[in-house]
Every structure is written in structure tokens, then in C-alpha cells.
Structure 1
């Protein structure tokens, strides 16, 4: 996309890439775990050709994004992601952008839209309501067939898993890419282009905190506690939304439009895309088209 820029937020020096027409219609694209902005390269090209002003940040723990204070909790909780999104919008002066994401990025987009709907012009979310109900997740097991797909999460709950992530971060990420996108013949060069972002010194701590906090195994950052209480109510999101369900993603089976309507009070469209977990990189045209649907 071009050079990496930086904006200072409350807890982070946020690295981001920017392309397209500055002053054009604003879009923010948010990547997930374990990916990075490279998953949006082709989406960016499509949107840029249509006069969008596209910003793609590196999530906390990735690439050149850095914590400002060594004492800050390396938190991967959902409200931390959302606050980083707000800090990015404030720092760049982006007015009511369309925000789009999947996995961690979808969580940032959904929680940010829930907390500050007045700041968001539209939302594209892969797999729908990416908002954790921590009280339920911490106490209610799923069927074994469903639990088994999340083996990496249970692995990260142990110190052995932390050591494994630190030692084998690229190998582990590569395995997850293969498991989660079974119909995508990804090349090693494509993977390696993103894997550089996992060398961030805070990658391991942020990932481990994320997968422990969501199950109530570890405390969050007190800075985000007030927002966590709001999110715990699991209120619907009112921002105009397009939901994409990925037909070949083993982590999240497609749901009905009626199901998604329970969580999005302004559901503009619902679509199934023939991809695995990494929807924007597997089908950039479909992802860009969903964003275009919300263009004002």
C-alpha cells in the first residue's frame, strides 16, 4: 500500500497504512488474528479506484504498533480494540467512516459501533455480532465438536501454550491459516508477507491476554472496565450494517438473516461469501462490494 504512518492514541502509537483519495469517502479496515493489513491489499485497490480514503491500522501487538508505556497491560480484550479504533478516528479526524473487519478486527468494529454509533457511518462484519458475552462464555460449554475447533484457545490458557506461541508463532499461525481457510490455496510468499507482523515484541502477551480474558480467566485493563460493563449488556448495534457469513469457515457456520437481525437493528444486507475465515483476502471483490453498499 505504501509507507507506514503513525498516530498516537491513549495507550498506543498506532501504525497504519493509507491509500486512495484523501478527503474521499472514508473507510477503515481492521484485520484479525493471526493476520495483518496485507489481507486487505486487493480490497484497498478496489476501493481506492472508487475514490475512497482507506486506512488500515496494525492492531495492537502487530507490526509497528507499539504500547506507549511499559506498564500498560498488554490487553487483548474487546473494549481495548474498540478504544484503539476510536483513538484512530479521533487522531486522523475521520468523520463517520465505514468500518469493516473480521475476527479481532470485526470485534473492534462491532464494539466500537455499539459504544459510539455516532462516530461510525457504516459497518461490515464477517460472522455478524462479534461481541463477546464473557459471562456466558466463561461458564457455558459448547458441544465437543464445536469446542474442538477452538483448540488453540485452550492451548493459550496454559503457560505451555504461551511458550509454544512464543517459540512457534509463525508455524502456529500458518497452521491456523490452513485450518480456517480449507478452500484457499495460499502461497508461502503470501503468508510470509503477513508473518513479519507477528514479530512485534508485544504479540505474544496481547494474544494470550485476549484468549484468557474472553473466558473470564484473567482481569482486564481497568482503563476499559466502564466500557466492558456497557458491552456486557449485549445490546443490538444500530449502525447501518452489512453482515457477511463465510460458507467455508470452520470456526463460524453461517446463520440466517433473521438471526443477525436480532443483533443489528439496521441490517442493510446479509450475504454469504464462498470463503474461509480470511474473507477479504480470499474474495476481495465481494468484501469491497459489501463496503460499497454502505457508501453515502
Structure 2
């Protein structure tokens, strides 16, 4: 029996909106969207996951869509470790003893972080799209090409960039979608269906903090100090991991996910899709599903 609807559940700081679909008794797979995006990014992938017996759980990240902070005095941090903690608290609230996670962009970073902290058993599979692990350090070395790719990071470090995020978010994000998908023209309808999620009252603050804090330009969340220390102490991931990267990604160059095997103690695979941009799940859903489904179907899930 199929169950498809939007629901809400509380974590320590959020009222998280999410969509759940697929077989009620299916193995749970949490799918996390990125920026600038929302849950609609997975629509073309879900049928393939349902068809192989998986139940999909797709939350809106903090600052997106109907997800809201529980308290007005909570700082709207967009710190990447906060996204990883959100995922684990979300799974706790749903009483998922074990689950797979698939993330794109911000969601990929959250999936890596949660997998690193929680480990294999709690998380059965980790699939990350368009992002390599070990790329969160503000002191990381980068090619000049990647420096150029990150122009929007640097722009949001300026007051005029903040004003753009706050006051012209649809123009800004539509431009991002256009340049990040060089070989694929995205329709206005598809963009508009997702852009409604950027009207969240916390979106701008979460976005600006997320990009500024990555480079030491904003204060970190003090409640995450222990969490961050655990990540820094041991960045190895024991969860079986699949990386899918578009070969023509103009946001995170494919080279940024190369040579990461040393961070993975479990099974590790990396697949590059030739000619595909930053949103492979939207642009090339069949190619993504053809890689993702066998990966998620391999190795029995731990007890739910």
C-alpha cells in the first residue's frame, strides 16, 4: 500500500515538514535537498526507489518551505554541522533505528556529516550528489577554477550580496539555476514550483550564515562545539558511500570529489556522469537511478 502526504514532526529546534511515500513496510530512505532547491528535486527519482521496495522520506531543510524554527529567539544558523544534527534528530523523532540517506548539495554535506558522527548501523547507506567529502574546511586548498566557481560565496560575504539574498532571492536563485545547468534548460514552471520554498521567513538568514560561517566570517553555533570537535577528530566514514557527480558541474568542479577514498573505511564508489551539471537528479534522473538503486539495494539494511 502506498502512502503519500506531507507531515510535520518536531526536533529540538525545528518543526520539520516532510513528505513520505512508497511502501509502508519499505526500507526507509531519507532524501535531503540542497541550495537553492527543495523537496521537488527528488520527484523524478522517487518512482525508481518505490519500485524496488523503499519508503522515501523527504524533509524540507531548516529555512526552506514549511519547516519552521520552534522559538523566535533561536539563532538562524545555517552551519553545515547543524544540518547533520537536524538529520539525526529528524530520524530520532521518526523512531528510525536505521535508514539510508541520499543528499544533494547541502543535503550531501548533511549526509556525510551525519554518517561520520552516527556511523554504520544507524545509517545503512550514504549517497552524496555533487559534493565531495572533506571540502568543509575553511583552510582547504582550492584551484583557481574552484575559487571562480564559488563567486556566490564571496558575494554573500558583502553587504550588497546579503541585500540580493534578502530582496531579490528569486532573481538570484533563478540565475544560479541557469548557470549551474549549462547543458539543460530548466522551465519556469519547474523553477517556480521550488522557488515558493525560498519565501520561508528564515531562508535569507540561514543562507547567508551558512555561506559566511564556512569561511570564518560569521560566529558558529556554540551548542555544536562538541559535534564539530568529533568531526575534526575523526573524519573517516564507516557507512557504505556512493558519490554521484556531474561531469560538467560548474558549481563544484568534479575534481573536488576526486581522491577521497582515504576518508572511507567501508565500501566507497564514485560515479561521474559525463556532460551533466549540478542537479543530476533533475537533469538525468534515469542515469542517477540506475546507479543509486543498485547501491541502495546492496547490503541488507539494518533493523528499522
TM-score normalised according to structure 1 size: 0.93
Cα shift at 1:258? 7.1
> Contact 2:16 / 2:68 at 8 angstroms: preserved in 1?
yes
How many equivalent pairs are there?
293
Cα shift at 1:261? 1.1
Superimposed CA distance per residue, residues 51-74 of structure 1 (whole angstroms, 9 cap, x where no aligned partner)? 211001001100000001111110
Aligned to 1:208: 208
The whole-number CA distance in structure 1 between the counterparts of 2:29 and 2:290 is 13
> Contact 1:128 / 1:260 at 8 angstroms: preserved in 2?
no
Superimposed CA distance per residue, residues 193-246 of structure 1 (whole angstroms, 9 cap, x where no aligned partner)? 100000000000000000011101111111111111222246221100111121
Aligned to 1:193: 193
> Contact 1:110 / 1:131 at 8 angstroms: preserved in 2?
no
> Contact 1:78 / 1:132 at 8 angstroms: preserved in 2?
no
> Contact 1:133 / 1:232 at 8 angstroms: preserved in 2?
no
Superimposed CA distance per residue, residues 103-145 of structure 1 (whole angstroms, 9 cap, x where no aligned partner)? 10001100000010131000111245344443414xx6x4443
Change (3 A) 1:283 1:234: farther
Q: Is the partner of 2:263 in helix, strand or coil? A: coil
The whole-number CA distance in structure 2 between the counterparts of 1:245 and 1:25 is 25
Structure 1 segment 199-238 matched on structure 2, within 5 A: 199-233=199-233, 235-238=235-238
Aligned to 2:67: 65
Superimposed CA distance per residue, residues 230-289 of structure 1 (whole angstroms, 9 cap, x where no aligned partner)? 222462211001111210101223249971312222234221123211121112223233
Cα shift at 1:4? 1.7
Change (3 A) 1:153 1:258: closer
> Contact 1:26 / 1:98 at 8 angstroms: preserved in 2?
yes
> Contact 2:111 / 2:126 at 8 angstroms: preserved in 1?
yes
Aligned to 2:287: 286
Indicate which of 97, 107, 110 corresponds to 1:108.
110
Change (3 A) 1:257 1:249: closer
Aligned to 1:53: 55
Aligned to 1:157: 157
TM-score normalised according to structure 2 size: 0.91
Aligned to 1:11: 13
Compute the RMSD of aligned alpha carbons: 1.9
Cα shift at 1:290? 3.2
> Contact 1:4 / 1:15 at 8 angstroms: preserved in 2?
yes
Gaps of 5+ in 1: none
Aligned to 1:271: 271
The whole-number CA distance in structure 1 between the counterparts of 2:256 and 2:176 is 26
The whole-number CA distance in structure 2 between the counterparts of 1:257 and 1:144 is 16
